[in-house]
Chain A
Amino acid sequence: MRLKKKHAPYVFISPFFILFFIFGAFPILFSLYLSFFRWDGMSAMRFVGIENYQFVLTDPWFWQSIFNTLSIAIMTTIPQHVFAIGFAFILHRGMVKFKEFFRTAYFLPYITAPVAVAMIFTTLFGSPFGILNATLNGLLSLPLIGNLLELLNISSPIRWLSDPNFIRPSVAALLTWRFTGWNIIIYYAGLQKISNGIYEAASIDGASTRQTFFKITLPLLRPIMFFAMLMSIIGNMQIFDEPIILLGAMGGTNRAGLTTAMYLYQTAFGWTEFGTGSAIAYVLCVFIVIASIIFNKYFRREI
């Protein structure tokens, strides 16, 4: 029996929805159900209505975790995409040799498991003896750069992972290191879709590289940028693996690196308040939707 054109798309998309309803929707709905209960995983569940939500929305630590999440997300999303678009453009336009090498090199961090990444960075960020601080020591002893750093009130050693002022930037730096390569690949794939004819026309018209980049590449890259940045925002709002391995479950000194996903995990699994943890998950979800909507509006208007 042949598949009719009318039915075909439903058949084609059905595996996703079937698998999703079994393995995705059930856990999600069960979590929603849980968010109206007090449950420690072992004792009987107790219905508490919206108390979990009331608690979360009036909890200062929750709001701090939202602040942490947003600031880390902003500190890493912007450099990630600026670097990625730049590098992807350079590599794509064939301005340099060894493209293959560069692309592979930049992508390596993304390949590496978070456990491994965190182990390596723990040694790099070490204080007072880590390599970054050793480098900083070297810089401080140089005449001009040293004075400049002193003017900026930077002194060695910097406690990258325990000084509350440096925790978020350090996490953001690690995330930037890890995800820039991934964005390069996404943009590179997007650039492949821009027809060479357009560039040829531009070059015949005498357009400079800079003009080509801003007038042609960026506008044509817009759908991909939208996609890549949306993915970054959604992903970064759920940052979990890297900070928890780097800083521990409470996010380090003064909870400076406690992201909302970590707080959710700590509430549910550390303190076994599964109901409250579920409520945090749903509130976080609403925040992600709001962020996506804002981004959508802003992005559509600006670019």
Chain B
Amino acid sequence: MKRKSIFSLVVMAAVIGVLLFSASASVMAQDEEVTITVGTWADESFEAAVELFNDKYPNINVELQLAAIEDHHDNLLTRLAAGGEVPDVAYLEDQYISTLAARGGFVDLSQEPYNGDQYKDKLVGYPFAQATTQDGQLVAMPTDVAPGTIFYRHDRLEELGVDIEDIKTFEDWIEVGKKFTESGENRWLIGDVANIYTMMVNGSSTDRFFNENGELVINSPRFLKAFRTAKEVRDMGLDAEISEWTNEWFTVLREGQVLMQPSGAWLGGHLKEWIAPETAGKWRVTSFPEGYDGPWGGSFAGIPKSSDNKEAAWKFIEFMATDRAVQWSNFRIADMFPTIEDLYDHEAFAEEIDFYGGQKARLVWKETILNIPAINTNQHDSFVMDMMGNALGEVLEGNKTPEEALNETETLIERRIRR
């Protein structure tokens, strides 16, 4: 007995010793300073987010690599292809995720030691489908989602004597737009008519461009309707014929020369911060008409396979994707909509927001986000998106009918991807 207990004491001491040692080893490992590089295109709330991150992980330095959104993704692709230096954490935008995800090059975050799938129940579901490849790899974690929404000028609608409740269909919007355009010089329904197309396509299906069997679905009533509506708006002179993210676009938004602007909720952050801060109180938000609920943007973060700091990189991603404080900070500063579902029930979600004249805008977005279904994506999405943008241009500026443009584009796409 005694011997045994001595023996067990020794064992216990040994176990404790090992535990202590390993604990101190892991403490030592944690004490070691690590620097990770993070590549992204959006930095509005980055500084505040990194501050929060460093409160928890003071030993992980974060170095930002910022580039314009296209440059960021193109460079990332080149570096992955050439086996060159890639950031430890790479942010990926909604439209690029499927293309990059399908190529490999990113760590499967559903595996040990990451187990990213454990968060599936707590986070909004639909982006997980986008970030998961057909063989079940989770190549990135969603860090923010983007409910598609319409920003509209409440004051202009009042001038016209129109109640938002009466605008229920796309045709209703066009009717109101006509009234507004006729009410004065330099007035339009919308700045960039392509946004009408995007709104109608993003918000109306579980397929983006391909269905779950990988079949191209662009030559369909959904796209035809979107093309026709956009063409109708253009032909009636209801769009300002300008492109989004140009100086003119900022101007028409600021001067109240356009009635509405469909986009992601994140556009609100840009509107109030710098595009049109002086228009505070004049804007309201509403969801897409006819029950269309879709995403407009959203970001993901993944770890390239050649990263040397995968452990620290995962800590960063996990923190950004699942920490309530940082998600809330991003939402407050830049209107990057949180992915953590139970945040939506927080009382702050029902706050009246001054920029939207006291509207409880977050509840509108919450409703949209919860209605978005899991979306089928495909590795050719960003290519098809380019082709469709081009086809829309041919309809708007050229002499092609929507039917012709869609037929021709379908042929062109098939020709390329079925090679």
A contacts B directly (C-beta below 8 A)? yes
Q: Total interface residues on A, using CB and 8 Å? A: 32
Fill in one digit per residue for B126-138: 1 if any A CB lies within 8 Å of its CB, else 0: 0000000000000
Fill in one digit per residue for A227-251: 1 if any B CB lies within 8 Å of its CB, else 0: 0000000000000000000001110
Known: A129-B247, A253-B393, A254-B394. A43 touches B242 (CB 8 A): no
Cα A61 to Cα B390 in complex, Å, equals 11
Cross-chain contact A253 with B397 (CB below 8 angstroms) = yes
Cross-chain contact B390 with A250 (CB below 8 angstroms) = yes
Report, as a range, how many residues of chain B touch the other chain: 20 to 34
- Contacting A at CB under 8 A, from B303-345, are none
Cα A254 to Cα B389 in complex, Å, equals 9
Q: Does B44 contact A (CB under 8 A)?
A: no
Q: Does A126 contact B (CB under 8 A)?
A: yes
Cα A249 to Cα B387 in complex, Å, equals 12
Q: Does B398 contact A (CB under 8 A)?
A: yes
From A40, A130, A254, give the contact of B103 (CB < 8 A).
A40
- Contacting A at CB under 8 A, from B84-125, are 99, 103-105
Report whether over half of chain B's contact residues are helix, strand or loop; otherwise say mixed. helix
Known: A42-B80, A51-B419. A128 touches B398 (CB 8 A): no
Q: Does A214 contact B (CB under 8 A)?
A: no
Cα A159 to Cα B396 in complex, Å, equals 14
Chain A positions within 8 Å of B243 at CB level: 162
Chain A positions within 8 Å of B403 at CB level: none
Cross-chain contact A159 with B419 (CB below 8 angstroms) = no
Cross-chain contact B398 with A254 (CB below 8 angstroms) = yes
- Contacting A at CB under 8 A, from B124-161, are none
Chain A: CB-nearest residue to B386:
A250
Cross-chain contact A269 with B78 (CB below 8 angstroms) = yes
Q: Does A79 contact B (CB under 8 A)?
A: no
Chain B: CB-nearest residue to A244:
B70
- Contacting B at CB under 8 A, from A245-275, are 248-250, 253-255, 266, 269-272, 274
Chain A: CB-nearest residue to B387:
A250
Cα A39 to Cα B178 in complex, Å, equals 50
Q: Does B170 contact A (CB under 8 A)?
A: no
Cross-chain contact A272 with B389 (CB below 8 angstroms) = no
Cα A253 to Cα B397 in complex, Å, equals 7
Query: Can you list 24 contacts pairing A with B, beta carbon distance less than 8 Å?
Result: A38-B419, A41-B77, A41-B78, A41-B81, A41-B82, A42-B103, A42-B104, A61-B412, A122-B247, A123-B247, A126-B246, A129-B251, A159-B241, A159-B242, A162-B243, A250-B386, A254-B393, A254-B394, A266-B386, A270-B386, A271-B382, A271-B386, A272-B99, A272-B103
Q: Closest 10 A-B residue pairs measured CB to CB?
A: A41-B81, A42-B103, A253-B393, A271-B383, A253-B397, A269-B74, A42-B104, A42-B105, A254-B393, A164-B397
